[in-house]
Amino acid sequence: MIKTKDLQKNFAVRVKSGRFRREKRVVEAVAGVSLSIEAGEMVGYIGPNGAGKSTTLKMLTGVLSPSGGEVEVCGLQPVPQRTRLALRIGVVFGQRSQLWWDLPLHESFALLRHIYRVPAAEHAARLRRCRDLLDLDDFLDTPVRQLSLGQRMRGELTAALLHGPRVLFLDEPTIGLDVVSKQAVRSFLAELGATGDVTLVLTTHDLADIERLCERLVVIDHGRVVHDGTIEALHARYGSRRSLVADLSSPLPEGFVLPGATLVGVEADRHRVTFALDGVTAGAAVADLVTAVAIRDLSVVEPDIEDVVARLYAS
């Protein structure tokens, strides 16, 4: 559905050098990204600020032309075939609106029907579905400028889907939303992705979005792909492990060794200990620990994707 090969984008930036002279310096925003995304996939595209996420998205949607490499979306060339591509993709920018600020929300939807030339029956059916799933009915008659951010984002999602796009691009769709609205957006997208009709590509800084929605994770840094695969593969690659945290009734004896695990944390006068599980199951580790010391409380902690990604960005 989406194919890029060695996709590049360079920006020329003029830098002051001397009193009147300005030098041209080339900044590589995207430095050779090759991706292949199949129909129905849900892909999270993440990276630190300035990594080239938005630039890639703009090249995929036909807003910017690439400086080099190849790009194909829905079998079309984004920039030369922009208007044809626009009919097949939906785009949600978290930070800017596709809706008409001064008009009631339902009028924006009616306008989009004209802009995308959607038959009335199809439009009505899709709108019906979004109204049910996103609870739009309470604010359909409210001018967009008076909507809360959460309500507006639900409107934006609907607006991007009314023409039945094959690919949906979401640029930070949960930015600035409260917990409840984030949940609403995520469950809607999860349901949409589950149908398999729509390919989803989303950029975000909120890794919970990715954990909840995306099987596949593409991490970009300095314009290059540094990871492309599942979240599990990311954990495996960066050696992030599950850990066992135990509160003990008596201090942990000096020199204690738990087979297959490494002691990584000791707190509260050796009453609270953390073991990283290397090649052993949580069950076996717990059994070994219980026979050695008396335990008051115990928990198994999943590896934190935030930590992994932070390490990835830092390296």
Name the site residues for other proteins (rule: CB under 8 A): 9, 11-12, 55, 58, 61-65, 67, 79, 82-84, 86-87, 89, 91, 93, 95-98, 100-103, 107, 110-111, 114-117, 143
CB-nearer residue toward other proteins: 53 or 216 = 53
CB of 124 to other proteins, least distance (A): 17
63: closest CA among 171, 165, 157, 153?
A: 171
DSSP state for residue 138 in the 8-state scheme: G
**Beta carbon of residue 170, minimum distance to other proteins (angstroms, whole number):** 12
Taking the least distance from each CB to other proteins, the nearer of 26 and 125 is 26
Q: Find residue 27's DSSP bridge partners.
A: 11
Smaller CB distance to other proteins: residue 95 or 195? 95
Residue 143 DSSP one-character state? B
8 A C-beta contact, residue 171 and residue 100: no
Q: How far is the CB of 282 from other proteins (least distance, A)?
A: 47
Q: Which is nearer to other proteins, 89 or 308 (CB)?
A: 89
Torsion of CA 229, 230, 234, 235, to 10 degrees: -160
Closer to other proteins by Cβ: residue 107 or 288: 107
- Smallest gap from residue 46 Cβ to other proteins (A): 21
Note the Cα 166 to chain centre separation in Å: 18
Min dist CB 134 to other proteins, Å, is 21
CB of 267 to other proteins, least distance (A): 48
Contact 168, 200 (CB under 8 A): yes
Backbone angles phi, psi at 133, to 5 degrees: -75, -30
C-beta of 108 vs 204, nearer to other proteins: 108
Instruction: State the DSSP string of 173-213.
Output: TTTT--HHHHHHHHHHHHHHHHHSSSEEEEE-S-HHHHHHH
- Residues with Cβ within 8 Å of residue 306, at least 6 apart in sequence: 207
